[in-house]
């Protein structure tokens, strides 16, 4: 069975003390995960070691970086390499979040290099894809996400593509007042899996976890996660509220 994952993306939020308290509140709930379930905390760089320490005794709880450089090392002030992440035992990294694409103009080809760097250091990428409102309204969302996957992932062989976690972000439903239904989430997840199957075969496609990243909340997580191709969520704002994120964890299949 594919991993069912609740991934928290804190983005640029919380002080060190607030983050530590949030983790304590979530972990103290004693939510026992099955072998097929996983919780990942993607926290700001200064909190990686603290978070790793907090989760090290909790089975199936992990820590992720929110971004990494496509370069191995060098004169790139302010950047963080995957070698640095690997050296502190960070095993996951978000790659290609919609905010990185929009605000920092990260291209599909750049993200392909970040994917390569992660895999070289045995770091699992959480690769984000998804369409804007303009693309959705033009009816070209299927072709758009297929291009994202093709240009950033399809240079990988079958063995390596199975090491990727994919997160679908319906950018058109985030902060626009529009809402993506559970049916729309399942529809796109099924499409993404069909793209993977066409490239790598059904067995490989069925092994890859695909998360939903469109404003998952405590009151809709169970419904959204019920889709057969929806393997959990990449959660933003709701992951900053302990009671909400605990409910989201409990909603995993």
Q: Which residues are catalytic?
A: 97, 169
CA nearest to 113, candidates 102, 104, 125: 125
Q: Which two tokens stand for residue 42?
A: 């993607």
- 178-184: long-range contacts (C-beta < 8 A, 24 or more apart)? 178/133, 179/215, 180/214, 180/215, 182/220, 182/223, 182/224, 182/226, 182/227, 182/230, 183/227
Conformational region of residue 74, where left means phi above 0, alpha means psi within -120 to 50, and beta covers everything else: left
Q: Which two tokens stand for residue 213?
A: 């990243």
CA nearest to 220, candidates 190, 251, 174: 251
User: CA 142, CA 154: separation in Å to the nearest integer?
Assistant: 16
User: CA 206, CA 213: separation in Å to the nearest integer?
Assistant: 19
Conformational region of residue 130, where left means phi above 0, alpha means psi within -120 to 50, and beta covers everything else: left
CA nearest to 153, candidates 217, 190, 198, 188: 198
For 13, counting Cβ atoms within 10 Å of its Cβ (0-12 exposed, 13-18 middle, 19+ buried), the class is middle
The number of CA neighbours under 13 Å toward the Cβ of 36 is 10
């Amino acid at each position: 069975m594919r991993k069912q994952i609740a991934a928290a993306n804190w983005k640029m939020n919380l002080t060190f003390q607030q983050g530590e308290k949030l983790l304590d509140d979530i972990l103290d709930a004693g939510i026992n995960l099955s072998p097929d379930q996983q919780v990942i905390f993607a926290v700001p760089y200064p909190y990686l070691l603290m978070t790793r320490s907090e989760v090290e005794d909790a089975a199936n709880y992990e820590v992720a970086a929110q971004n990494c450089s496509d370069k191995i090392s060098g004169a790139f002030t302010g950047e963080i390499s995957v070698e640095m992440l690997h050296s502190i035992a960070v095993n996951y990294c978000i790659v290609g979040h919609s905010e990185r694409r929009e605000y920092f103009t990260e291209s599909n080809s750049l993200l392909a290099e970040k994917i390569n760097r992660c895999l070289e250091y045995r770091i699992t990428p959480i690769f984000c894809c998804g369409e804007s409102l303009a693309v959705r309204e033009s009816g070209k969302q299927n072709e758009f996400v297929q291009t994202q996957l093709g240009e950033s992932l399809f240079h990988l062989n079958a063995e390596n593509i199975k090491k990727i976690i994919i997160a679908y972000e319906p950018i058109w439903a985030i902060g626009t007042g529009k809402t993506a239904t559970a049916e729309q989430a399942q529809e796109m997840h099924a499409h993404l899996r069909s793209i993977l199957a066409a490239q790598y075969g059904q067995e490989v496609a069925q092994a890859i976890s695909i998360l939903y990243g469109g404003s998952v909340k405590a009151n809709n997580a169970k419904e959204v996660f019920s889709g057969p191709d929806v393997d959990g969520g990449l959660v933003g704002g709701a992951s900053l509220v302990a009671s909400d994120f605990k409910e989201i964890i409990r909603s995993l299949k």
